[in-house]
Amino acid sequence: MPSHTVYLGLGANLGDRQTNLVQALQLLRARVEVEQVSSAYETAPVGYTAQPNFINIACRVSTELSPSELLHFVKQVEQRMGRLTTFRFGPRLIDVDILWYDGLTLDEPGLIIPHPRMAERAFVLVPLAEIAPDLRHPVLGKTTSELLQTVDGKGVWPAARGLKPAFQN
For the annotated catalytic residues, the residue numbers are 83, 92, 95, 97
Helix-, strand-, coil-residue percentages of the chain, each rounded to 5: 25, 25, 45
DSSP state of 68: H
H-only helix segments in the chain:
17-28, 67-80, 122-131, 144-148
Close Cβ partners of 53 (under 8 Å, ≥ 6 residues apart): 13, 42, 43, 44, 45
40 vs 160: CA distance, rounded Å: 7
